Amino acid sequence: MPIKNGSEYIESLRDRNLQVYLFGELVKEPVDHPMIRPSINAVAATYDIAEEDPEIGSATSSLTGLKVNRFLHIAESSQDLVNQNRMQRKLGQQTGTCFQRCVGMDALNSLYSTTFEIDKKYQTPYHERLIEFIKKIQYENHVIGGTMTDAKGDRSLSPSQQEDPDMFVHVVKRDEKGVYIKGAKAHQTGCINSHWLIVMPTMRMRPEDRDYAIVGAIPVDAKGITYIYGRQSCDTRSMEEGDLDAGNSQFSGQEALIIFDNVFIPNELIFMEGEVEFASMLVERFTCYHRRSYVCKTGLGDVLIGASAAIAEYNGVSNASHIKDKLIEMTHLNETIFAAGIASSHQAYRTESGNFINDDMLANVCKHNVTRFPYEIGRLAQDIAGGLMVTMPSEKDFRGPVTGPLLDKYLKGRKGVSTEDRVRILRLIENMTLGRNAVGYLTESMHGAGSPQAQRIQIARQMQLEYKKKLARKLAKVAEGEDTISNPSLAESSDYFDRIFGIKK
């Protein structure tokens, strides 16, 4: 039966016999592990929002006619993409962490148009296969984990040039029923909490990389898959008694290393096999969707701004002008991220396949802002919080018969605010800027969907400097051809301004 809500989702993860290793040991039941469970709770919130706020969290699929979770919906308009961003920000506010489903959503949408164009060139059956798969998961209401980042090995070498061929996931065997793959995917968000994995190439491919140009769907519990759980700062606080020191005891993100050892993908779940020239199209379309998906960080920013305002109030300094100014700056930075992301969605256009893709330039601007602004928001939060955020004793000391009363007396802030409430807000700020959820808010913001230089490359490709120089020369009354700096042979592949001004080619 289809999964209806977060509670049913959690139960659907039980008894799958996954090969998950944590601290060198096989985890018997990941659902019940105290360090893993907060990440499962975060995914459960993506089910509950579809029930509680269906306008944001769900959509009607033209493929099935069903009301489906928005994370499984193929975008059929720019408003669909805008609603994705609204949903992402709301979930960030509700969880204060990474809720782990954006990669799967963006993988489905980028594959929808890419498979259509592969089929158009080669008369392959990929697009039809993908549609059937999407129908299945929409009905069952499953979580899709997208897996793109390979181990990579020597970054100066292509996949086929690596000394160890397993540094990139590749096909090692083919038969009439399908293919077998081997390799690893690194720091994979929410993979253990998913029902399906979609394996994708991580970079453009050459003809000699044909075995590495593979896309396919695999059940999370398929034979031959091993998961090695990733550490997060302060993660074992979730395993301690009580909930004070965790800061955010209910929700967290999740990353793991996935090892594929001769894992089978049947033909009907293969969506690319060897069409190397389409690897770059898939990667670029995926990153276009995913880089504006980072508006999710503005939801986390809302929480951190709120925590900063609360601790200023608890400390009795909320009326200080410099505190107000810092909160204004934090809000300005947060909304700047959101503005670029949602503008990218509003500027979406229809692909040949019929689904919609957002504007690439603005998506890269959004993500480039995300590589910087959360760090400044976090710094200002720490500034407002004060040093006690990182010097507080443990919860056991707060509960201790001797130390508890002393801490309650000497760590008290403004009158009318309990010491425990002050400590809880400080621990939340610590969690988001130094602790477990700083992984999703800071470092993932830097490297997820491509490190900063990847965005700068895409922005450079779309600057349209020749067009801008013509604008300048015209206003300065410089005749065309007199500018010796310009290179008229430079082709400008971007159609960014055409989209802005509605120019049809």
Catalytic machinery residues: 98, 102, 189, 255, 290, 294, 296, 444
Give the residue from 344, 334, 338 showing the smallest Cα distance to 374: 334
Listed residue (255, 266, 265) closest to 227, CA to CA: 255
Nearest to 151 by CA among 127, 182, 106, 122: 182
Q: 330 with 441: CB under 8 angstroms?
A: no
Three-state secondary structure readout of 408-466: HHHCCCCCCCCHHHHHHHHHHHHHHHCCCCHHHHHHHHHHCCCCHHHHHHHHHHCCCHH
Give the Cβ contact number of residue 365 at 10 Å: 24
Nearby residues of 377 by Cβ (< 8 Å), 6 or more positions away? 301, 304, 305, 330, 333, 334
Q: d(Cα 33, Cα 23) in Å, to the nearest integer? A: 12
Which residues are CB-contacts of 400 (< 8 A; sequence separation ≥ 6)?
A: none
Please name the residue that has the structure tokens 């008369």.
Answer: 123
Beta pairing, strands 225-229 & 20-22 = parallel
CA dihedral angle for residue 173, residue 174, residue 179, residue 181, rounded to 10 degrees? 10
> CA 421 to CA 244: how far, in whole Å?
10
Q: Are 258 and 188 in contact (CB under 8 A)?
A: yes
Buried b (16+ CB within 10 A) or exposed e, 170-188: bbbeeeeebbbbbbbbbbb
Torsion angles phi and psi, residue 232, rounded to 5: -135, 150
DSSP 263-311: EEEEGGGEEEES-GGGHHHHHHHHHHHHHHGGGHHHHHHHHHHHHHHHH
CB 50 within 8 A of CB 122: no
Instruction: State how far the Cα of 89 lies from the Cα of 341, in Å rounded to an integer.
Output: 11
How many whole angstroms separate alpha carbon 241 and alpha carbon 232?
A: 18
